[in-house]
Amino acid sequence: MTAHAARTGIWFIGARGSVATTATAGCAAIAAGLHPPTGMVTETPPFTDTGLPPLTSLVFGGHDTLDCPLPKRAEALAAGGVLPHGLPSAVGAELAAADAEIRSGGPLPGDTRTDEELITAFAADIADFTLRNELARTVVVNVASTEPAPGQDDPRLPASSLYAAAALRAGCPYANFTPSTGLRSPRLQDAVDSCGLPHAGRDGKTGQTLLRSVLAPMFVQRALPVRAWSGTNLLGGGDGAALADPAAAAAKNAGKERVLADTLGAAPEGEVHIDDVPAMGDWKTAWDHIAFDGFLGSRMILQTIWQGCDSALAAPLVLDLARLLARSHETGLTGPRPELGFYFKDPDGGASALSEQYEALLAFAGRLRAAR
C-alpha cells in the first residue's frame, strides 16, 4: 500500500461548526509542529505503537448546511479566543483543502427528497470523498448541533439518523459525539446489526459531565449519600442557540442525568438548566451545587465551577475517536466498541466511573498493539 493510499479520512457531520473547525485546524497545527497535542489521549505513551493513523495522514471533509468557508470560520474562532491568534493563517492551506471537501447537507426547508433519497445522496458524497482521495478508510463523526429527540410517531428519520445510515451504507466506522439519535433509531436496528462496522457511543463527555463522572464515584466510594445535585450552564455560540430549544436541551440533559443515576443508583433531586447567553460566544460556564450527608447526618455542600470552551475540549477527543475507530476497522473489529465509553456520556455497555473507563481504554490500546 502506498503512503498516499494509507491516508485516513474524517468526515464530519457539521463540518463548519466550532468543533469540526477546531479539530481540523488543530490537527494541522499539531502535524506541522506548531502546537503540542494537549488533550489528545491517543498521543500519550500508552498508545505508542498501537498502529493508529498518524495525524499527518488525516484528510478532512464533511456535510454541513452552512456555507461559511472554513478559513473564515477559523478566523471567527480566533477572534473569540478559541483558536490561537494567527493560527488560521498558519494553516490556511489545510483549512481551504478541507473546505473544498465539504458538501451540502440536509434536509433543508423545502427539500422534497425522501429519507431513502437523502441517505443515498449522503452515502455517495462520502464514498466519492474516499475514492477521490485514495483513502484507506473514512470515519464519520457527528459533531452537529443537538437535535430534539424524535417522537414515536414521526414519519421521518431525524437528520442525525439519515447521516448515520449513510455512513453505514458507505462502509464507514461511525461515532456520534452529540446527544442526537444517530444510530439509535429503532428503524436502523437491522442495518446496525448487519453492518460489520465498528461504531461508538453517543454524546461526548467534555466539561460538566466529565467532572460529574469523576465526583459521583467519590461519593459512592466514601459512603456519602447525595441528597441533591443541581446545575446550570451558561453558553453562547451555535450550541447555545440550538439548546435554547427546550426539546434539544432535554435531549442534552438526559446524558448528564444518566451519569448520576448510573453511578449513584438513583437520580438525586435537582435539575440542570441551560441558558443561552449569546454574548459569551463559544465559551461556557457550568456550575454544580451538590448537597450530601456527612458523618452523623451533618449537612455538607460542594460547589464546582467549570469555565472553558467546549469546542477546544471536544476537538482532541474527536480526533482520538476517529483514529481509534479507524484502527478498529483496520483490525477487523465490528459492532459497538464499549472500550470507547471513556469519551461518552452514553457509552455502549461502558462503566460510568471515568477511572474504570480509562482502564478499559488502556486495555483496548494493548489489544490494538497486539494486532500489529
Quote the pLDDT of residue 207: 82
Alpha carbons 101 and 88: distance in angstroms, whole number: 18
**Mean pLDDT, the chain, whole residue set:** 92
Is 5's pLDDT higher than 60?
no
Quote the pLDDT of residue 150: 87
Q: Is 260 helix (H, G, I), strand (E, B) or coil?
A: helix
CA 15 to chain centroid, in Å, comes to 12
Which tens digit of pLDDT belongs to each residue from 107-164? 988 999 999 999 999 999 999 999 999 999 999 999 999 898 888 888 999 999 999 9
Alpha carbons 205 and 310: distance in angstroms, whole number: 10
Alpha carbons 75 and 92: distance in angstroms, whole number: 10
Quote the pLDDT of residue 252: 66
Quote the pLDDT of residue 112: 94
- pLDDT-based confidence at 103, cuts 50/70/90? very high
Report the percent of the chain where pLDDT is more than 90.
74
Alpha carbons 327 and 229: distance in angstroms, whole number: 39
Is 258's pLDDT higher than 80?
no
Quote the pLDDT of residue 250: 74
Instruction: For residue 226, give the C-alpha cell.
Output: 447525595
Quote the pLDDT of residue 89: 98
How many beta carbons lie within 10 A of that of residue 223, not counting itself? 8
- pLDDT-based confidence at 255, cuts 50/70/90? low
Quote the pLDDT of residue 274: 87
β pairing state of 198-202 and 137-142: unpaired
**pLDDT: which is higher, 254 or 74:** 74
Is 259's pLDDT higher than 90?
no
Quote the pLDDT of residue 2: 42
Q: Whose CA is closest to 250, among 348, 180, 162, 200?
A: 180
Which tens digit of pLDDT belongs to each residue from 150-197? 888 889 999 999 999 999 999 999 999 999 999 999 999 999 999 999
- CA-based torsion, 118, 122, 123, 128: positive or negative: positive
How many beta carbons lie within 10 A of that of residue 193, not counting itself? 9
Which tens digit of pLDDT belongs to each residue from 204-239? 988 888 888 889 999 999 999 999 999 998 988 777
What is the value of pTM for the model shown?
Answer: 0.91
Quote the pLDDT of residue 352: 56
**pLDDT: which is higher, 283 or 226:** 226
Which tens digit of pLDDT belongs to each residue from 30-65? 999 999 999 999 999 999 999 999 999 999 999 999
CB-based burial of residue 44 (10 Å sphere; 0-12 exposed, 13-18 middle, 19+ buried)?
Answer: exposed
- State the angle between helix axes of 310-330 and 354-370 in degrees (0 to 180), rounded to the nearest 10: 40
